[in-house]
């Protein structure tokens, strides 16, 4: 009896720590981790660089819009490619090309005496956005290909949590680099991080999809089926599911009200207080730290299974924190609110990503994730443009922008309780079967 109990304990420990012994999983986790660190540092440094050399809110909005539009347009193509060719190859090529772009930009900064024209910065932002657009659909749909089915959900939660950790380290890296005031060094440093990520992902070996990918590549040669027809199929699939369509539309509105006011408003708010770029980095690090804590809570709460009804309330709390951040005049208070916002967003996002990846068939996952991302992010360029324009035109100030947007976000999340599909989303048969299967395996 004692021997059996000991054996059972060993089995439990083996299952719990299996992923940390899986070199394939570690390659994927750390590769995407460093990639997200680079992304976090890049966007903060780029935004602060534009704001400093131009002093214009509209210029900042223009650059962020230039970076986001190609991302959105090419996201669909990236999703279709993720369903047709090796996702590992897509990730590595995206990272390598972005590294080369940043090295070229660093040399261009020196060539134009550290103050390039805005069109040149926007050109780099557009090119970076195009290449980056192929990364997200592949990275968001590669996890089922990299780990065994029985540990997929835990692997996904761990990767999401580690990526949230990089949203702390990325801004902290940016805050440290901004102290040196050497933008050439900053962009070269970020490019080195992308090259490190590329190297780590080179050790990744896809499991379940290796033969499937090969057959798809043969289909490309033998069949005239168009990539655009696959994109259309992905769009129709999303609209055919009421819960997916609901999540997409709510996400569209939330991103309209969140992305511009936060990404445009926070640096302008910090600059209006006379604080440094390092403080901006600490604000963003606070948000990332909150996201890490939120991710850990999701793991501890077993993905919030059976508790999805809480998610709308947490989203409403995030909107309330956003509404108040413009009226906090001490850096530590603003950082605290950013932490709380990060916690709420992670708790909302991670369970919903797990949910989508569970109920969507594997052969449609790449294009479905890209369609959902495209639709939810479709108004982000509008958000950037409108936010920067109304602040530059002095229609309202940055505090009022954050206040109004936060209140509307709170109301939108509260409205989810009026939608039956949201209240009953955990009744989806695929989700319920996976829930029961996990309960049997854990017992």
pLDDT, tens digit (0-9, with 9 covering 90-100), for 226-282:
556 766 777 888 888 888 888 888 888 998 999 999 999 999 999 999 888 889 989
Angle separating helix axes 365-377 and 57-82, nearest 10 degrees: 160
| pLDDT tens per residue across span 316-351 | 999 999 999 999 999 999 999 999 999 999 899 888
Nearest residue to 49 via CA among 174, 185, 183: 183
Q: Decide if 204 is inside a domain.
A: yes
Say which CATH number the domain at 110 has: 1.20.1250.20
Q: What is the reported pTM?
A: 0.76
Residue 96 has pLDDT above 70, yes or no: yes
Q: Decide if 218 is inside a domain.
A: yes
Q: Are 314 and 341 in contact (CB under 8 A)?
A: no
Helix locations, 223-301, DSSP H: 227-240, 242-272, 277-300
Q: Decide if 3 is inside a domain.
A: no
Q: Decide if 15 is inside a domain.
A: no
Nearest residue to 303 via CA among 258, 356, 254, 364: 356
Q: Are 399 and 326 in contact (CB under 8 A)?
A: yes
Cα distances from 119 to residues 251, 278, 337, 370, in angstroms, run: 31, 26, 35, 28
- Name the band, by pLDDT with cuts 50, 70 and 90, for residue 442: low
Q: Are 154 and 19 in contact (CB under 8 A)?
A: yes
- Name the band, by pLDDT with cuts 50, 70 and 90, for residue 403: very high
Number of domains the chain contains: 1
Q: Decide if 11 is inside a domain.
A: no
Tell me the C-alpha distance between 332 and 345, whole Å: 20
Q: Decide if 10 is inside a domain.
A: no
Residue bearing the bigger pLDDT, 321 or 359? 321
Q: Are 339 and 322 in contact (CB under 8 A)?
A: no
Residue bearing the bigger pLDDT, 161 or 106? 106
Residues spanned by the domain of 296: 22-442
Nearest residue to 109 via CA among 199, 32, 168, 46: 46
Q: Decide if 113 is inside a domain.
A: yes
Q: Decide if 209 is inside a domain.
A: yes
| Measured torsion, CA atoms of residues 89, 92, 93, 95, in degrees rounded to the nearest 10 | 160
Q: How many CB atoms lie within 10 A of CB 326?
A: 22
> Distance between terminal CA atoms of the chain?
18
Q: Tokens for 321?
A: 């924190």
Q: Are 381 and 257 in contact (CB under 8 A)?
A: no
Task: Determine which of 40-49, 99-108, 219-228, 346-355 has the lowest per-residue pLDDT on average.
Answer: 219-228
């Amino acid at each position: 009896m004692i021997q059996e109990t000991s054996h059972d304990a060993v089995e439990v420990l083996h299952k719990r720590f299996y992923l940390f012994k899986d070199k394939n999983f570690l390659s994927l986790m750390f590769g995407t981790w460093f990639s997200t660190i680079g992304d976090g540092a890049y966007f903060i440094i780029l935004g602060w660089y534009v704001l400093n050399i131009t002093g214009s809110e509209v210029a900042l909005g223009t650059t962020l819009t230039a970076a986001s539009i190609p991302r959105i347009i090419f996201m669909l193509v990236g999703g279709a490619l993720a369903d047709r060719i090796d996702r590992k190859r897509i990730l590595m090529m995206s990272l390598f090309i972005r590294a080369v772009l940043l090295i070229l930009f660093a040399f261009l900064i020196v060539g134009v005496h550290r103050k390039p024209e805005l069109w040149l910065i926007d050109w780099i932002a557009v090119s970076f956005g195009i290449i980056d657009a192929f990364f997200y659909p592949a990275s968001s749909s590669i996890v089922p290909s990299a780990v065994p089915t029985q540990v997929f959900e835990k692997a996904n939660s761990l990767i999401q949590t580690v990526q949230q950790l990089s949203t702390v380290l990325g801004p902290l890296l940016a805050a440290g680099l901004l102290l040196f005031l050497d933008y050439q060094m900053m962009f070269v440093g970020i490019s080195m991080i992308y090259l490190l990520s590329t190297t780590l992902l080179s050790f990744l070996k896809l499991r379940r999809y290796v033969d499937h990918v090969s057959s798809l590549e043969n289909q490309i040669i033998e069949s005239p089926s168009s990539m655009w027809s696959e994109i259309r199929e992905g769009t129709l699939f999303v609209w055919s599911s009421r819960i997916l369509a609901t999540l997409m539309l709510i996400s569209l509105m939330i991103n309209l009200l969140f992305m511009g006011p936060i990404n445009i408003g926070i640096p302008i708010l910090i600059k209006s207080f006379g604080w440094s770029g390092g403080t901006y980095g600490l604000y963003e690090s606070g948000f990332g730290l909150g996201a890490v804590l939120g991710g850990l809570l999701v793991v501890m709460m077993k993905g919030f299974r059976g508790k999805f009804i809480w998610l709308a309330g947490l989203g409403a709390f995030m909107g309330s924190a956003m509404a108040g951040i413009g009226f906090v005049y001490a850096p530590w208070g603003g950082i605290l609110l950013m932490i709380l916002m990060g916690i709420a967003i992670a708790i909302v996002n991670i369970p919903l990503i797990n949910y989508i990846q569970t109920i969507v068939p594997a052969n449609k996952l790449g294009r479905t994730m890209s369609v959902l991302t495209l639709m939810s992010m479709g108004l982000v360029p509008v958000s950037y443009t409108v936010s920067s324009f109304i602040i530059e035109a002095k229609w309202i100030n940055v505090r009022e922008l954050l206040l109004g947007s936060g209140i509307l976000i709170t109301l939108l999340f509260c409205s989810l309780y009026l939608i039956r599909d949201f209240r009953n989303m955990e009744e989806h048969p695929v989700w319920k079967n996976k829930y029961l299967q996990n309960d049997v395996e854990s017992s």
